[in-house]
Amino acid sequence: MDAGVHELTRWSAARLGHALAAREVSAAEVTTAHLERIAAVDDRVHAFLCVDAEGALAAAETVDAARARGDQLPLLAGVPVAVKDVLAQTGLPTTCGSRILRGWVPPYDATVVRRLRAAGMVLLGKTNMDEFAMGSSTEHSAYGPTHNPWDLDRIPGGSGGGSAAAVASWSAPLAIGTDTGGSIRQPAAVTGTVGVKPTYGAVSRYGLVALASSLDQAGPCARTVADAALLHAVIAGHDRLDSTSIDAPVPDVVAAARRGAEADLRGVRVGLVRELDGDGYAPGVRTRFTEAVEVLAGLGAEVVEVSCPHFPYALAAYYLILPSEASSNLARFDGMRFGLRDGDDGTHSAEEVMARSRAAGFGPEAKRRIMLGTYALSTGYYDAYYGQAQKVRTLVAADFAAAFAQVDVVVSPTTPTTAFRLGEKVDDPMAMYLSDIATIPANLAGIAAMSLPAGRAEEDGLPVGVQLMAPAMADDRLYRVGAALEAALVARWGHLLIEEAPAL
């Protein structure tokens, strides 16, 4: 690959945006560089389910023509972005990683996709994911697993492993993920990237194929906190097409990231969650997390311990609420209206076609969760299971409220371990579910959360993530504290952690 093209894929989104605005490089050149990178490595990473080279180049040429006319364009105009395959996009299949939607091309754009286009960004293609976002490893995709660019024998996290791997493999400077219980943050942690779950309702869910409607949230995947802030600013904001969208000003996350880069946290109170500081973390994760907390203190932050006593019950509550909502949402995939239709030969009844289509179209994890959810919602069990889980959810939210009365942000490890090997936990659902033990509480409460790199574990040399959490609609706090921590760690390492990733 040409050295110049190779270098462009290493530039941050911010640097690309400024270089494009100054016409030091064209959007077509930037797009071509990333398409060539995808062609060079994605046969091994499998971050993408669909690459739209023709559409990407056409969009880039449109941006270049607008600049040549002297049009004033947004900062990220011409910057490439990858989109998780759970967001509707005209002209490309949206499969949600499932056989049941193989080949389905939406007739409309999700609001997030529409806002990316309005910002002049170049959409490279759709990224791989666990089927309907059910998983923590991207091994539950009907189209094969994604591989971690740090070690191709290991998982890239899930459900949005494709988006994180696209960013970590230098195939895209930015990507969109979705986070229902950690599906942006957990992949970010294990791939050495930055992932943000915005406040629930801060980014529109219109056109996001629903898994659990009260938990799902789209957000940015990036290699730096500043880049995540730029993408966050593009996709956030009220949308009348989403009844859960918050009609309030978007916090200035870009300014917060700039302020944080000054690496001064005097006056900021950071809460160390006692219930997320137990013995369930690998030694390397614990070591890097402890160091990150010490760095925060060294930047002037006051670190105090806070208690969230109901967090130990969050995992169980989540795995009742999510399957229940999934059971309801996935009922629409019945082989009658769109997607896979099995047995439609005139010899089977409508009920038989539905049963055959769902049996053939859904994978084992999707079936497991649909059955769990259907049972939890059934007559005689609703109050005992789903109703009780919602009460726990209320208590988790109250725990956060009490914590944020004392501190500005709370902090924890993002994941209990570094990336595990492909196949290691795929047949052990409980072990897989425990990967999200630290990320789930933020989804239950609807607050904002971020994962950013904290270094590499000594035992395997793989990335470790640290998680920051902030109150609803205080997403800017994540970016201030995250950028300060990132700047201090980069000063210590001498470069971004992702630059240590083995070359593919």
**Which one of 84, 126, 197, 425 is the catalytic residue?**
84
424 DSSP assignment: S
Class of domain 3-310+398-500: alpha beta
CA distances from 208 to 10, 324, 422 (A): 30, 18, 28
CA distances from 45 to 133, 250, 339, 380 (A): 19, 35, 27, 46
Rounded Cα–Cα distance for residues 47 and 37 (Å): 12
Q: Is 367 a catalytic residue?
A: no
Our CA dihedral for 184, 186, 191, 197, rounded to 10 degrees, sits at 30
Q: For residues 264 and 295, is the Cβ–Cβ distance under 8 A?
A: no
pLDDT value of residue 504: 82
- Reduced to 3 states (helix: H, G, I; strand: E, B; else coil), residue 221 is strand
At residue 352, the pLDDT reads: 87
Q: What DSSP line would sit under 16-66, residue for residue?
A: HHHHHHTTSS-HHHHHHHHHHHHHHHHHHH--EEEE-HHHHHHHHHHHHHH
**Residue with token string 């966050």:** 232
Give the span between the Cα atoms of 59 and 91, in whole angstroms.
13
Type of residue found at 324: S
Give the per-residue pLDDT at 358: 93
Q: How confident is the model at residue 5, as a pLDDT?
A: 43
Q: What is the pLDDT of residue 4?
A: 38
Q: What is the CA radius of gyration of the chain?
A: 21
C-alpha to C-alpha distance for 269 and 262, rounded to whole angstroms: 17
**Set 26, 183, 324, 412: catalytic member:** 183
Beta strands in 92-162 (DSSP E): 122-127
Label each residue of 237-285 as H, E or C.
CCCCCCCCCCCCCCCCHHHHHHHHCCCCCCCCEEEEEHHHCCCCCCHHH
Look at residue 3 in the predicted model and tell me its pLDDT.
36
Beta strands 269-273 and 302-306, pairing class: parallel
pLDDT tens for the chain, 504 residues long, are: 333 347 999 999 999 999 999 999 999 999 999 999 999 999 999 999 999 999 999 999 999 999 999 999 999 999 999 999 999 999 999 999 999 999 999 999 999 999 999 999 999 999 999 999 999 999 999 999 999 999 999 999 999 999 999 999 999 999 999 999 999 999 999 999 999 999 999 999 999 999 999 999 999 999 999 999 999 999 999 999 999 999 999 999 999 999 999 989 999 999 999 999 877 899 999 999 999 999 999 999 999 999 999 999 999 999 999 999 999 999 999 888 888 888 777 788 888 888 898 999 999 999 999 999 999 999 899 999 999 999 999 999 999 999 999 999 999 999 999 999 999 999 898 899 999 999 999 999 999 999 999 999 999 999 999 999 999 999 999 999 999 999 999 999 999 999 999 878
Q: Please indicate whether residue 26 is annotated as part of the active site.
A: no
Q: In this predicted structure, what is the pLDDT of residue 351?
A: 87
Clarify whether 159 is annotated catalytic.
Answer: yes
**Terminal CA-CA length for the chain:** 12
Phi, psi for 264 (deg, rounded to 5): -135, 115
Q: Is 492 exposed, middle or buried (0-12, 13-18, 19+ CB in 10 A)?
A: exposed
Catalytic residue among 12, 26, 159, 357: 159
The residue whose two tokens read 């995540």 is: 228
